[in-house]
C-alpha cells in the first residue's frame, strides 16, 4: 500500500505550485478614479488651450473653450473637435501633456497603491474610456504593463472625429480586459479592479477583488449591497 501522508503532501505541494503560478493584475480606471473629479480628455483640452498647442485648426479653439465647461458625458460622446487633427501631432502633444500635466493629477494615495501592486508582482495597467492616443504615454511614465483606451478613427494621417470601434465602457471594458489578460497572460478572475462609475460594475463583478473609488451614487449603493470596499482618492 502507498503512504497516505506522502500522497497528501504531494497534492498540497502541487496545489501550492499552481497557486504560486497564477499571475494576477491590478486594473485601474482613469477618469474619476486615478483622476479624481476630472478626466484625461478634459485636462487635455485645458492643456491645449493653456499652452496654445495647435492640435486642431484655429477655428475649433472656440469650441474647445466651450467643451472644457460642459459635463464629462458631453465630451465622451462628442469627438468632432478632433476632426482634421494630424495624428502625429496629437501623439507628440500627448507625450508632453501626460508628462507635464496629467501625472500631476494622480493623487499620492493612487501612486502608493500602484507601488504596492508592483511590489506584489501584479501585472499593472489602465483600461479606460479616455482616448487611447491621449493616455498611452502613461504606460512608460507610470511603469505600467498596458494602457487600453478608446481608439479614434484616422484616415491618411488625420483624425476623422469618429471613434474606431466602441467606446471602452461598461461590458466593452470587460471585453478589452479579457483581451489584455490573454496578451499579458494574467488571470482576470483572480485580479483586482478599481472603478468609480456605475458602468464599471461589469468589470468589478468579474474580478476577485473589486474596489470602488470615489463612486457615483449608483455605484456606491451597489458597493454597499455587495460588500465591495470603497476608498476615496483626493
Q: How far apart are CA 26 and CA 115, in angstroms?
A: 11
Q: How far apart are CA 123 and CA 118, in angstroms?
A: 7
Q: How far apart are CA 202 and CA 205, in angstroms?
A: 5
pTM for this predicted structure: 0.83
Domain 22-231, what fold? Rossmann fold (3.40.50)
pLDDT average per 10 residues of sequence, the chain (234 residues): 50 43 92 95 86 54 48 54 86 94 96 96 97 97 97 93 93 98 97 98 98 98 98 92
Please report the pLDDT score of residue 40 as a whole number: 94
Q: How far apart are CA 212 and CA 33, in angstroms?
A: 9
Domain residue spans of the chain: 22-231
Q: In the numeric block, which cell numbers belong to residue 123?
A: 501585472
Angle at 42 between CA 140 and CA 198, to 5 degrees: 90
Contact at 8 Å (CB) between 130 and 149? Answer: yes
Q: How far apart are CA 189 and CA 200, in angstroms?
A: 15
Q: In the numeric block, which cell numbers belong to residue 7?
A: 500522497
Please report the pLDDT score of residue 49 as a whole number: 79
Please report the pLDDT score of residue 16 as a whole number: 44
Residues 6+ apart with CB under 8 A from 100: 47
**Which of 222, 221, 220 minimizes the C-alpha distance to 231?**
220
Amino acid at each position: 500500500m502507498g503512504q497516505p501522508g506522502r500522497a497528501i503532501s504531494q497534492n498540497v505541494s502541487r496545489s501550492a505550485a499552481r497557486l504560486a503560478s497564477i499571475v494576477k493584475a491590478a486594473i485601474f480606471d482613469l477618469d474619476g478614479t486615478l483622476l479624481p473629479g476630472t478626466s484625461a480628455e478634459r485636462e487635455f483640452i485645458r492643456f491645449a488651450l493653456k499652452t496654445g498647442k495647435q492640435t486642431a485648426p484655429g477655428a475649433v479653439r472656440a469650441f474647445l473653450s466651450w467643451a472644457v465647461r460642459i459635463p464629462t458625458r458631453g465630451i465622451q460622446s462628442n469627438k468632432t473637435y478632433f476632426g482634421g487633427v494630424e495624428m502625429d501631432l496629437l501623439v507628440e502633444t500627448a507625450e508632453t501633456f501626460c508628462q507635464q500635466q496629467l501625472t500631476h493629477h494622480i493623487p499620492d494615495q493612487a501612486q502608493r497603491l500602484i507601488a504596492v501592486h508592483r511590489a506584489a508582482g501584479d501585472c499593472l495597467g489602465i483600461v479606460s474610456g479616455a482616448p487611447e492616443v491621449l493616455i498611452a504615454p502613461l504606460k512608460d511614465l507610470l511603469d505600467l504593463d498596458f494602457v487600453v483606451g478608446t481608439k479614434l478613427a484616422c484616415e491618411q494621417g488625420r483624425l476623422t472625429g469618429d471613434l474606431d470601434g466602441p467606446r471602452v465602457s461598461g461590458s466593452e471594458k470587460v471585453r478589452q480586459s479579457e483581451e489584455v489578460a490573454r496578451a499579458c497572460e494574467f488571470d482576470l478572475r483572480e485580479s483586482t479592479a478599481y472603478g468609480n462609475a456605475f458602468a464599471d460594475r461589469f468589470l468589478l463583478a468579474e474580478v476577485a477583488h473589486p474596489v470602488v473609488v470615489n463612486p457615483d451614487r449608483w455605484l456606491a449603493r451597489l458597493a454597499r449591497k455587495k460588500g465591495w470596499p470603497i476608498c476615496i482618492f483626493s
